[in-house]
Each structure stands twice: as structure tokens, then as C-alpha cells.
Chain A
Amino acid sequence: MTTVHRYGKRPAQHRHRRGRRQFWQFMICGTVFVALVAAKLYSPRHAATLRRAISGAMDRNMDVQEVFASVGRTFAGENAPAEGLREVWNAVFLPSGGGTETGRTVTETLSGLISGNASETLSGDAAEPPAGDVPEIAPQTDSEPPETLTRHQWTETFGNSTAFASLSEPWPETSGAAVIPEASVDDARPEGQASFLYTGQNLPQNVGMEQVLLNFDYQSPVHGEMTSGFGYRKHPVDGVERFHYGVDIAAETGTDIVCFADGVVTATGESTSFGRYCTVEHVGGFTTLYAHCDRVTATSGATVHKGDKLAEVGATGQATGPHLHFALQREGVYLNPVYYLAG
């Protein structure tokens, strides 16, 4: 019987070609390995950025099972062809939870965070809010509800325009002890802080002063001195008392800002008020904001874990010194982050 060899080649030729192929495979793998080691040694920052970008891309995935099921349903006549095509498209490009990844787009995330007609404005890439919009928002009194939900997608996501106005923190004039505003404490504040007894009447509508129990592990995003707390304070620019929706933690420029808890990066961007910022959504409807960063290393859509580096401390946006503006929100209600910064 005639022996049939693969590719119809003689065994010696086949071995030669195989050896050559294996040599080139080895060379390519070796080159990639050496290049990665060299990159890590000579530019650890870029190597880390690259690693995170690749990790993020590895996490994101189409919903393969839904693609198959949509085609199957359409073929069986359960779906109209147009509906099937739309389902396949959504499963590939806008998966809602296929595989091991949430797969949600920034737009979907933002749509889930807001309500009403605000979602209608969330078109395009919400990860990059136009910076020019922010300063044009006129300051409001703190007790007023948001004037409108359609002025700016970031405004809609992270509070009303007062939040923007309150972000132009003084530096270093307000340096001092941390402020922990409580309903029953109106004078436990550093010099320059407004005196307020927090009640349901004078609190902004989207603020909760209670300490909520977090059912997940968390840690302080940066170590440094807290220079401005959560609550009413005298605005450093115009002297008007406004609500500060987060805490300011001073640190050297370039200090790592790490993730508060496990979650998904829902937006990264830059605005004239926040500077470079990113937001992370956690389980239980919690969202955190990291603003005034010198550099944001996380990528939008990436899955991040507690302690993962997100950004570096800076003084971008309306800031007079390097610090992190850290805000915590649960389902649209701002919480005092100071309770959770000891870790």
C-alpha cells in the first residue's frame, strides 16, 4: 500500500520545513519576550499602560451564545430578519453581560445611572465629555434641584452643576484637618469652613449624610492629607458657600491613585473643571469619581480591582495644587467618602 504523506512531500522535506517553521516561531516568541522585558525595565509606566490596555481588551467580549441564539431564533422564524440582525449586532457590539464580562458600553452605563429625558442626550462617546461645556454652567444655590438634566452628560451622571462649581477647591488656603460634617455637628470644622447643621431642609437633594455599609472590600484611593471635606464650605474663588460633593486629598504630583474597590471603568475624560478624571462603577450601584488627575492610566470599559492603579495625582482642571478629588455616589446620591478612607 502506498503511504500518503501530508502535503504530498517527502518525509525529509517535511521535517526540514517543520524545523524551519519551529525556528521562526521560537525567534518571534523570543523577540516578543525580550521586547516586553526591555519595555518593562526601561519604561515601566508605558509597560503598565500597555498591560492594562491588553487586560481591558481581554476582558471585553462579544456575547457569543446570544449571537448563536439570535441566528437560531431568526432561522426558526421566531424573530423577523431585521430583529435578528439587530440582536446579533447588539450581541457583538453591545453585549449586555455575555461571557465573564459585563460588556456594557459607557453609554449604557450612563443611561442606567440617570433617568428621564437625560438619557436622550447620551449619544456618542460619553467617555469624553466636551471640556468646553463645564465652565459655562452657572453656579446654583446648593439647595436647588438640578436646573436641567440635559446640559451635560457628565453633569447628569455625577450630580448637578453645583458639583462643578464646588470643584474649584482652594489650594493651599484650605489646608487643614479633615472635615466630617454630620447632622448633629455644626462646628467641628477647620477655619474657613461654613457652619451648617445638616438637616433634610438644607441638604442638597442628591446628598445623603448617613454612613452606608458597603458590602465589598475597599481602600483609600490615595494616601495623603485631606484638605477639604464633604459638605458645605466657602468657595475659594467667589466666597459663596456651596456644597462640596467629595473629599480632597493632597499628594505629590504623580502619586498613584488606585481603585477604591472592584468595578468597571465607566468613563475617562478631561474637562476644564474636573481636569483629567475617571469614574468606576462598583457593585450595589456605587460609583466613584477620581478627578484632577495628572494622567489617567485606566481605560474606559476595563474591569479593575481594588488597589489597581487608575491614574496619577495632578492639578488639572480647576485646582490650585496637586490633589485628588474623590467622590462616592450610590444610585445618584452622593455619600460622604470620608467614612471609607481609613483602609
Chain B
Amino acid sequence: MARVRVKGSPAFYILLVWFAAVNGLRPLLTVLSAALVHECGHFAALRRCGARVTGFRLGVCGAVLDSNCSRLSYADELFCVLAGAGANLLAAVLCAAAGNPYPAFTGANLILCAFNLLPVRPLDGGRALELLLSWAAGPAAGEYAARWVSAAGALALASGLAYVMHGSGGSLWLLPAMFGLLAVSVRECAGRA
């Protein structure tokens, strides 16, 4: 099995400590466990499709699996992209079916699933949208549509996070995500995503 290079940015570790400091360890462990389930879903799907995973990057905007997907078909790549959210959904269903002993874990998986399915690149939903449209109408049309949907979605999501921070009078650990989404929106509009 090929070696997977894991790399975490300093900003990621700072955000981790910040999140733990303001929310406590339990929410941090809940989020990390749901994120692990998500990435395991991607990893398993990529392995299933024969793609090679070369690295695992952790940043303030989330985790990214580096892989060589160039040989995958649209269907296989779509499967790999949606596998993370699917794994989260599966984990939530299994946990709920088992009597829901950890409702926070169930909820975290569902929220991560829903969040990643938002049509904003580089989230899974944005990539899935691009793949679907590219598959249906060609790469150019897929790229064009995904760009503007992503730009609008990122802007809406950043506004939503700003509203949450304003409404809760804090929760500033959401700031990096908000600025990241604003940057995504700008980059998409500029066609540099």
C-alpha cells in the first residue's frame, strides 16, 4: 500500500486549539470523529475505484484528500466525491438505529453531510455539481455553471456564518471559515478557482 503523506497547516492546529478552548473537548472530539468518518468514506471509495491517494491535507477550511483521479470516469469520480457525505449519512443512520446512544455524534455526522453537499467548490457538493453538469453538458458548461453557483453559494454561506456570529454575539471560531468562503466567492468570480 502506497504511503499517504499527511500534512496539517499551522492555521489548522491553531483553529483546533481555539475551537477546543471555547467549546470544550467533547464538541471537538465529536467534530473530529465525524470528519474522520467523512474522510474514511472518501478514502474507501477512492481505493474501491483504484485511484491512488497521495496525501491528506488539513487546513482551516477542512480536510482534503490528494489523489490522482485522472483515470476515473465521471461516475466513479462522482461516487468518490459523494462517498464522504454518504459515509456520514450511513454513520448517522446506524447510530440512530442503535438507539441513538450518542445523539451529538449523529447530529455532527448529519451536519457535516449537509454542509459538504452545499453546491460550493471545493466542498463535495460543488464538485459533484460540476461533475454532473460536465457529464451531462460538457466540461465547459459544467465549469461555467459550477463557478457561478459556487460564487453565489459561498457568498450566501459566508453571510449565514456572519449572521450566526452576530446573532450569538461571538462564535468567532467561525471567522476563518467565513473569510475562506468569501475568498472562494471572489476566486470563483475571477475564474481562478
Interface, chain A (partner B; CB < 8 A): 4, 6, 56-62, 64-65, 67-73, 75-78, 92-93, 95, 98-101, 301
Contact = CB atoms under 8 A, between A and B. Distances in A.
Contacts, number: 108
Nearest to A74: B107
- Most B CB atoms within 10 A — which of A62, A64, A70? A64
A6 B172 contact: no
Contacts of B168: 60-62, 92-93, 95
Contacts of A61: 22-23, 168, 170-171, 173
Contacts of A99: 22-24, 27
Interface stretch (B39-47, B95-103, B131-139, B143-151): B95-103
Nearest to A105: B169
B166 to A, nearest CB: 10
A93 B166 CA distance: 9
Contact of A57 (B54, B111, B164, B170): B170
A69 B23 contact: no
A55 B164 CA distance: 18
A68 B105 contact: yes
Nearest to B97: A76
Contact of B108 (A4, A6, A56, A68): A68
A4 B172 CA distance: 37
B104 interface: yes
Task: Tell me which of B54, B104, B105, B173 has the highest count of chain A C-beta atoms within 10 A of its own C-beta.
Answer: B104
B167 A72 contact: no
Given A4-B68, A92-B164, A72 B22 contact: no
Contacts of B107: 67-73, 75
Nearest to B164: A92
8 contacts: A60-B169, A72-B95, A92-B168, A92-B171, A98-B24, A99-B22, A101-B22, A301-B169
Nearest to A6: B66
A101 B100 CA distance: 28
B104 A72 contact: yes
Nearest to A73: B103
Interface in B140-184: 164, 167-173
Given A61-B168, A70-B107, A76 B30 contact: no
Interface in B76-108: 92, 95-96, 100, 102-108
